[in-house]
Amino acid sequence: MADNSLPAGWTEENNSLYRKVQCKDFSEAFSFMTRVALSAEKMDHHPKWTNTWNTVEIWLNTHDAGDIVTGKDHQLAEKINKLI
């Protein structure tokens, strides 16, 4: 997939969309993750992610499609971009 078709701020690596989000502090990072979790739950499409203090790393791929990037991942990435 060409980089120009990726959602803003995302890269594609290891069959996943990837983004690192830096927040002001842990509380802001946790709040961001909560907002993402609510959107992901509505879509029934859940990210793989980590949180270390003020940094959230997110990987998106579609498990039901064999762990590849699909339109669902692009949709969730766009929703996440609106929450940053």
CATH number for 38: 3.30.1360.20
5 is a domain residue: no
Within-domain flag for 66: yes
**Which pair of tokens denotes residue 31?**
């709040």
Cβ atoms of residues 55 and 22 within 8 Å: yes
- Whether 3 shows a pLDDT value over 50: the answer reads no
Q: Give residue-wise pLDDT tens across range 21-73.
A: 999 999 999 999 999 999 999 999 999 999 999 999 999 999 999 999 999 99
Q: Does residue 24 belong to any structural domain of this protein?
A: yes
Q: Is 51 inside a domain boundary? A: yes
Residue 10 forms part of a structural domain: no
**Domain that residue 52 falls in:** 16-83
Q: Taking residues 10-17, report their average pLDDT.
A: 96
56 lies in a domain? yes
Count of domains for the chain: 1
Is residue 30, in this structure, part of any structural domain at all?
yes
CA dist list (Å): 24 to 16, 32, 41, 60, 68: 26, 11, 25, 23, 32
